[in-house]
Amino acid sequence: MANSRIYFSDLKPGRCSSVVETRLLRFWEARSASRGGELMRVDMLLIDVNSTMVQASINAPRLLKFQGRLAAGRTFALSDFDVVPCTHTRMLTDSPLLIRFNGTTGFDEITEPSFPLPIEGFSFQNETDLLRIANTNTRLPDILAEITAVKSTVHDPPKGKNHVMATIKIDNGNSATLNLFDNQAIDFHRRLESMRVDPMVIVATNINPRTVGAHLSLNATSGTHIYFDQETTAGQTSFNRLVTRSTGLPPAAPLLGEVAKVEPVTIAELNSFAIIAVSEDIQFMCTGKVIRVDSDKGWCYVACSKCGRKLQRIEYTFKCVRCNNSHAVGVLRYRVELAIADDTADGIFVCFDGVMTKLHGLEARVAGQVLDGEAGYPEDSHMPPFVTSMEGKTYTFHVKLTTYDFTSTHQCFTVTRILAEHERLPPHKFDTYQEEVATDGAKVEGIQPILANVDSGSTGGETSLIAVNNPVGRVPNKVDDASNHILKKAPKP
C-alpha cells in the first residue's frame, strides 16, 4: 500500500512513514569550529504546498547517499524520516520541529508534484522585529532591503581576514549594516565585481541581528544566501518600486527579445529598437559621451512632498493638481536632460532625482540652497557647476524606455543608473560604528571602499565589487564647502 501524503503542518515527533511533497529552497554546510572546520551535517530549508517551511538536516555519515540530489529549486517526495523537536538555539522558521534524514529516508526527485509548490519562501522581519530579537540568539530571520553602499577588505588574491560591510535600508529609511566574513565576504565581493550597475535591492537569509550602540548590525551566518534585485520575486517587487521612486515613472517591463537581460546596445540600436517596440516598456545598457547638457530645460523642479508630482506655481504658493491642494509643500528634485552620442548616433537621456543624487552625492535641495542667491527660485537659477561639468565625460547608462518616452513628438530615454566607463564613482561615506564590527570584536583596519555594481536584468546571480579610486561627477570644491556648511544646519530628510 502506498504511503499516505501529508503536509508539514501534520508532523509530530517520532518516525514518519508518510510522504511529503516538498521543494528544496536552500541548503548549506554546518561545520564545527572547535574541530578544525570538520563537516558535521548539511542543513536545508524545505517548503510544502501550503508554504509551510521546515528545517531539515542530513548528518555527515549519511550525506554520501543524498548529496548528488541536492540542488536548490528541485522538488522531492520525502518519506521515512525522523521528526524531532528543534533544539537549535537560533530558529529559522516558525515550526518547532526538525526533520532528520535516517538510513531509510526516501528523497526522490519529482518533476510533476500533485499540486504546484511555491517557488521561493522567506521569513522576512521588519526593523522593529529585528531590534526586538537582536542580541537574543533566538532567531535567524531573512531581510529584504535597499542596498546603498559597500565596503570591503577583500584583496586579489584574498589574504588575511576578509570582511564586507554593506549599508542597507530595511523599511523605514534608517540605515543598518550587513556584515559578511571570510569566504562569504569573498564570494560577495566577487559576485559584485562581475556586475555593471549598482544593485538596488538585496535579500539576505539566516541573518543574526545584533546592535552596536543604537545601530542595527546584521551578521551573516553559515546559512546566509544573498540575492540581488530581480533574482527573487520579492526582490523584483521592491526593485520596481525603487525605480519608480527614482524616476517618477512606472517600472520598466523586462526587455524584449535579444536584449531581455539588459545587454549593452548602441544608441542607433536603441532608436531602431524603440521604434519597433514602442508598445512595450524596455530597459537596456548604453555607453556614450555627454555632448551637451540642455540648460534651457533647467536642472530641477519643485515636486509635491506627498505624491511626488510637479507642482504648479501660483504667485507665492504651489498647487498640486493630483492632491487638489492649493498650498502644497514642495521639495526640490533633479531633472536634467543630456544629449548623449556614441559612434553610431545620438539621443536625449533624462536623469531624475535619484540618479543625480547618487552620482554627485548632493541632494537637489542642498544644491538649491547653494545657488539660492542667483535667482528668486532655485529652479530659475543657473545649472550647478557639477551638472555642467558632466559635458565631455563618458558614462554607461542603465536606461528604460516607456511608451511616453518615445513618440512622434517626444523622444528621450529615462536613465535609472549611471556608471562611468573609465572612471570610478565616488565612495559613499560610512559612519564610524561600521569600523567597530568584526568577528572577534577587533577594529577592522584597512577598509577599502568599493562600488557595488549590478546588472539588474541578470538571472545568473553573478555580482562583484570594484575598488573606488578616481571619483567621477564630483562636486567642485567651492560647492563642496558650501554644501557641507549647509548640511550641518539643514535637518535630516
For residue 327 the three cell numbers come to 498650498
SS3 367: helix
Euclidean distance between CA atoms 204 and 145, whole angstroms? 9
Euclidean distance between CA atoms 378 and 321, whole angstroms? 21
Query: What does the pLDDT read at residue 102?
Result: 92
SS3 11: coil
Q: How confident is the model at residue 172 (pLDDT cuts 50, 70, 90)?
A: confident
For residue 173 the three cell numbers come to 529609511
pLDDT one-digit tens code per residue, 321-352: 889 888 888 889 999 999 999 998 888 999 99
Number of CB atoms found within 10 A of residue 34's CB: 6
The answer to whether residue 429 scores a pLDDT higher than 70 is: no
Report whether 444 contacts 430 (CB < 8 A). Answer: no
User: Within this chain, do residues 476 and 339 fall inside the same structural domain, yes or no?
Assistant: yes
Residue 31 lies in a domain: yes
Euclidean distance between CA atoms 352 and 415, whole angstroms? 7
Euclidean distance between CA atoms 138 and 136, whole angstroms? 5
Closest by Cα among 153, 159, 156 to 438 = 153
Residue ranges with strand state E in 353-412: 394-401
SS3 448: strand
User: Within this chain, do residues 224 and 263 fall inside the same structural domain, yes or no?
Assistant: no
Residue 436 lies in a domain: yes
**Section 51-70 average pLDDT:** 91
For residue 424 the three cell numbers come to 570610478
Query: What does the pLDDT read at residue 426?
Result: 38
- Structural domain total, the chain: 3
pLDDT one-digit tens code per residue, 403-419: 555 554 557 888 988 87
Q: How confident is the model at residue 36 (pLDDT cuts 50, 70, 90)?
A: confident
Whole-number average pLDDT of the chain: 76
Query: What does the pLDDT read at residue 110?
Result: 93
Report whether 161 contacts 179 (CB < 8 A). Answer: no
User: Within this chain, do residues 170 and 223 fall inside the same structural domain, yes or no?
Assistant: yes
Q: Which residues contact 97 (CB under 8 A, 6 or more apart)?
A: 11, 12, 13, 54, 83, 84, 85, 86
User: Within this chain, do residues 145 and 79 fall inside the same structural domain, yes or no?
Assistant: no
> With the C-alpha atoms ordered 82, 84, 2, 74, is the resulting torsion angle positive or negative?
negative
User: Within this chain, do residues 432 and 323 fall inside the same structural domain, yes or no?
Assistant: yes
Residue 463 lies in a domain: no
pLDDT one-digit tens code per residue, 112-155: 998 999 999 999 999 999 999 999 888 999 999 988 888 888 87
Q: Which residues of 395-425 are buried (b: 16+ CB within 10 A; e: fewer)?
A: bbbbbbbbeebbeeeeebbbbbbbbbeebbb
Q: How confident is the model at residue 288 (pLDDT cuts 50, 70, 90)?
A: very high
Residue 293 exposure: Cα atoms within 13 Å on the Cβ side: 18
Residue 437 lies in a domain: yes
User: Within this chain, do residues 355 and 410 fall inside the same structural domain, yes or no?
Assistant: yes
Query: What does the pLDDT read at residue 406?
Result: 56
Angle at 154 between CA 151 and CA 159, to 5 degrees: 155
**Of the residues 109, 137, 161, the one at which a domain ends:** 109
The CATH number of the domain where 100 resides is what?
2.40.50.140
Taking the CA atoms of residue 293, residue 298, residue 299 and residue 304 in that order, the dihedral angle to the nearest 10 degrees is -150
**Of the residues 206, 241, 276, the one at which a domain ends:** 241
For β-strands 282-293 and 226-228, DSSP reports them as: unpaired
User: Within this chain, do residues 221 and 260 fall inside the same structural domain, yes or no?
Assistant: no
Residue 225 lies in a domain: yes
The answer to whether residue 222 scores a pLDDT higher than 50 is: yes
Report whether 121 contacts 51 (CB < 8 A). Answer: yes
Query: What pTM was estimated for this model as a whole?
Result: 0.53
pLDDT one-digit tens code per residue, 16-33: 999 999 999 999 998 888
Angle at 485 between CA 480 and CA 491, to 5 degrees: 115
Instruction: Identify whether 157 is preceded by a cis peptide bond (ω within 30 of 0).
Output: yes
Closest by Cα among 381, 396, 387 to 357 = 387
User: Within this chain, do residues 163 and 34 fall inside the same structural domain, yes or no?
Assistant: no
Report whether 79 contacts 3 (CB < 8 A). Answer: yes
Query: What does the pLDDT read at residue 483?
Result: 32
Q: How confident is the model at residue 52 (pLDDT cuts 50, 70, 90)?
A: very high
CA dist list (Å): 470 to 132, 315, 427, 474: 41, 45, 9, 10
User: Within this chain, do residues 237 and 254 fall inside the same structural domain, yes or no?
Assistant: no
Query: What does the pLDDT read at residue 404?
Result: 55
Closest by Cα among 133, 136, 130 to 178 = 130
User: Within this chain, do residues 140 and 225 fall inside the same structural domain, yes or no?
Assistant: yes
Give the number of residues written for the chain. 493
Residue 117 lies in a domain: no
User: Within this chain, do residues 270 and 403 fall inside the same structural domain, yes or no?
Assistant: yes
Burial label for 470, CB within 10 Å (0-12, 13-18, 19+), is exposed
Q: At what angle do helices 233-247 and 353-360 cross, to 10 degrees?
A: 90
Query: What does the pLDDT read at residue 229?
Result: 87
Angle at 13 between CA 8 and CA 18, to 5 degrees: 50
The answer to whether residue 257 scores a pLDDT higher than 50 is: no
**Of the residues 185, 209, 241, the one at which a domain ends:** 241
Percent of the chain exceeding pLDDT 70 equals: 73
User: Within this chain, do residues 71 and 159 fall inside the same structural domain, yes or no?
Assistant: no
Query: What does the pLDDT read at residue 275?
Result: 54
For β-strands 226-228 and 175-181, DSSP reports them as: unpaired
Residue 460 lies in a domain: no
The residue range of the domain holding 187 is 127-241
Q: Which residues contact 139 (CB under 8 A, 6 or more apart)?
A: 90, 91, 92, 125, 133
pLDDT one-digit tens code per residue, 263-276: 678 888 777 666 55
Residue 152 lies in a domain: yes
